């Protein structure tokens, strides 16, 4: 029996029924019969050389495992040339059994020298539970299950030379009828268990490599990989809607992405692949890009390595969402406090790993600095996303925080945007750097980060203090009890 490993449960049932139907004259072999540690290829070829009937089972189940079915048909066909007959006048045959909504498999066409007679094809596309107990149906020679059993029975009778008496044929027909119902029942269970429809409410990418993924100084080399996009992926990557398919080369995948997002996505995915395959860190990462008011958590859900050494890495991309409860005014001010403090913790406090002094230290090599910059930009974008979602750009809240001083707000906005743009530009240059130009790109980035921190430190301190003062006052007004006096300096 030749089949893909995804169908082994179905095939086990078919093998069991065939053995029960012909207990004394039929030996049924499949890969489950091979002993652990044996040379599978030699065992398969030896088994095929001895095989009289090759039953090839094809189903419509997706098969990522690269089954041996095509190889086995080709080898069996070659074996027939060396030994065409079971015995004189009785040919060795292969019988294709198609189960489900499956067309004649490519295997039948592309195996060199394989001769395929469509009259030998048996197909069961649909089943009905009523047939399982229909004795008349189970004796009907036109249905595929009975046809399969009759073909095997005819070959065995011809081989054994047993006289086809009425009594013998009646006994065989009774056994076939009983087996046909059981076999049909197994196939019915399989067909009913197939996927009717599939929805991907989240996003997933599948990275495939024909060979083990190699690692460079700055992480995994995905240049020879293919990327399959599953679900609602266009918006997250900034890729325009594309009707040409959902599989890309790594280079094409990056080329289609929004230029302002490609650096962060590229390094995040490479960092995640490196972390998982090398066992050097977590299997998730958070990313947020500046052009989208959305943040995502990327996590590896599955890593598959096939015998062929092909590798698959499944990465889910889940949008990070949060719910809000309570008073809108105090919630907004609380978010403003959080934004101010998180920004301070990220780059302005000396204990942070993202200060210019730490990121500019000599030990920050290309492979060490790229993931740090990727994380820094993602966290920065996450803070900006939360600020936008909290409505901190709205004139009403800004007028309250800065006591209506529009000129001051205008000046701070100009300083912020100029410093941020320069920081992001130089950071992206490091993410695209090579060993040859890394030193210069790093120095430029550290200078931009230093200037960014210097120009935003006082702005952040004043903003955070004012918002905390305003939040305390608002809570004091809204909550019953003694009036709370707040003093700031």
Q: pLDDT truncated to tens, each residue of the chain (489 aa)?
A: 888 877 888 899 899 999 888 877 788 888 766 554 456 678 888 889 999 999 988 887 765 444 567 778 888 888 998 999 998 889 998 888 998 887 765 555 444 444 555 666 888 888 887 776 778 888 888 889 999 999 999 998 888 888 888 888 888 888 889 899 898 888 888 888 776 555 656 688 899 998 889 888 777 899 999 998 887 766 677 776 665 567 889 999 888 887 777 877 888 888 889 888 887 667 777 776 655 567 788 889 889 888 778 899 999 888 887 777 778 889 999 999 999 999 999 999 988 999 999 999 999 998 889 888 988 988 888 888 888 888 898 999 999 999 999 999 999 999 999 999 999 999 989 988 888 999 999 999 999 999 999 999 999 999 999 999 999 988 888 766 655 565 655
Range 4-8 contact pairs with CB under 8 angstroms and sequence separation of 24 or more? 4/59, 4/61, 4/63, 4/65, 4/67, 4/69, 5/31, 5/65, 5/67, 6/59, 6/61, 6/62, 6/63, 6/65, 6/67, 7/57, 7/59, 7/61, 8/32
Report whether 432 contacts 342 (CB < 8 A). no
Burial of residue 140 (number of CB atoms within 10 Å: 0-12, 13-18, 19+):
middle
Cα–Cα distance measured from residue 143 to residue 127, given in angstroms and rounded to the nearest whole number: 11
Cα–Cα distance measured from residue 119 to residue 138, given in angstroms and rounded to the nearest whole number: 21
Q: How many residues are listed for the chain in this entry?
A: 489
Q: Distance between terminal CA atoms of the chain?
A: 83
Cβ neighbour number for residue 199 with a 10 Å cutoff = 5
Burial of residue 409 (number of CB atoms within 10 Å: 0-12, 13-18, 19+):
middle
Contacts of 209 (CB under 8 A, 6+ apart): 222, 224, 225, 226, 310, 311
Write out the two tokens for 24: 């004394």
Cα–Cα distance measured from residue 452 to residue 84, given in angstroms and rounded to the nearest whole number: 81
CA atoms lying within 13 Å on the CB side of residue 186: 18
Query: What angle, rounded to 10 degrees, do the helices at 144-160 and 166-192 form?
Result: 140
Contacts of 106 (CB under 8 A, 6+ apart): none
Model pTM?
0.52
Cα–Cα distance measured from residue 238 to residue 428, given in angstroms and rounded to the nearest whole number: 17
Q: Give residue 35's pLDDT.
A: 52
Cα–Cα distance measured from residue 467 to residue 340, given in angstroms and rounded to the nearest whole number: 9
DSSP state at residue 209: E
Q: Give residue 361's pLDDT.
A: 95
486 backbone dihedrals φ, ψ, rounded to 5°: -115, 130
Work out whether strand 122-124 and strand 93-99 pair parallel, antiparallel, or are unpaired. parallel
Put the strands of the sheet holding 122-124 in their side by side order: 53-59, 93-99, 122-124
Q: Give residue 485's pLDDT.
A: 60
- Just give the CATH number of 203-319: 3.30.450
Cα–Cα distance measured from residue 184 to residue 145, given in angstroms and rounded to the nearest whole number: 7
* Strands annotated E in 323-407: none
Q: Give residue 112's pLDDT.
A: 40
**Measured CA distances, 99 to 61, 69, 76, 289, 430 (Å):** 9, 15, 22, 47, 55
For the chain, the domains span 5-192, 203-319, 328-478
């Amino acid at each position: 029996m030749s089949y893909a490993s995804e169908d082994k449960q179905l095939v086990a049932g078919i093998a069991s029924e065939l053995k029960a139907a012909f207990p004394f004259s039929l030996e049924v072999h499949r890969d489950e019969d091979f002993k652990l540690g044996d040379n599978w290829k030699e065992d398969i070829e030896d088994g095929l050389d001895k095989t009289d009937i090759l039953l090839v089972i094809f189903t419509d189940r997706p098969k990522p495992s690269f089954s041996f079915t095509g190889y086995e048909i080709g080898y069996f066909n070659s074996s027939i040339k060396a030994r065409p007959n079971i015995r004189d006048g009785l040919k060795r045959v292969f019988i294709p059994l198609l189960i489900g909504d499956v067309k004649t498999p490519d295997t039948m066409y592309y195996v060199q020298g394989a001769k395929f007679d469509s009259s030998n094809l048996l197909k069961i596309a649909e089943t009905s539970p009523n047939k399982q107990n229909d004795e008349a149906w189970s004796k009907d020679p036109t249905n595929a299950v009975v046809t399969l059993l009759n073909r095997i029975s005819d070959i065995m009778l011809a081989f054994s030379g047993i006289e086809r008496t009425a009594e013998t044929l009646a006994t065989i027909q009774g056994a076939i009828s009983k087996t046909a119902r059981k076999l049909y029942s197994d196939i019915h269970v399989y067909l009913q268990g197939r996927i009717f429809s599939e929805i991907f409410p989240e996003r997933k990418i599948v990275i495939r490599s024909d060979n083990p993924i190699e690692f460079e100084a700055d992480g995994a080399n995905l240049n020879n990989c293919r990327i399959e996009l599953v679900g609602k992926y266009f918006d997250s990557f900034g890729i325009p809607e594309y009707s040409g398919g959902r599989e890309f080369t790594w280079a094409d995948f990056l080329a289609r992405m929004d230029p302002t997002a490609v650096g962060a996505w590229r390094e995040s995915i490479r960092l995640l692949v490196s972390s998982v395959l090398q066992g050097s860190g977590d299997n998730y990462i958070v990313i947020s890009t500046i052009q989208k008011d959305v943040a995502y958590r990327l996590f590896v859900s599955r890593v598959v390595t096939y015998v062929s050494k092909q590798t698959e890495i499944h990465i889910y991309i889940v949008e990070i969402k949060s719910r809000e409860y309570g008073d809108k005014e105090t919630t907004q001010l609380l978010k403003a406090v959080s934004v101010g403090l998180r920004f301070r913790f990220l780059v302005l406090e000396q204990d942070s790993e993202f200060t210019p002094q730490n990121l500019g230290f000599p030990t920050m090599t290309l492979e060490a600095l790229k993931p740090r910059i990727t994380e820094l930009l993602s966290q920065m974008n996450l803070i900006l996303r939360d600020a936008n979602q909290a409505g901190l750009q709205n004139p009403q809240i800004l007028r309250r925080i800065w006591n209506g001083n529009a000129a001051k707000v205008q000046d701070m906005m100009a300083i912020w945007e100029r410093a941020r743009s320069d920081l992001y530009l130089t950071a992206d240059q490091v993410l695209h750097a090579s060993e040859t130009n890394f030193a210069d790109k790093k120095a430029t980035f550290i200078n931009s980060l230093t200037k960014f921190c210097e120009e935003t430190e006082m702005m952040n301190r004043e903003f955070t203090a004012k918002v905390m003062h305003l939040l305390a006052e608002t809570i004091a007004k809204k909550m019953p009890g003694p009036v709370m006096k707040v003093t700031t300096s």
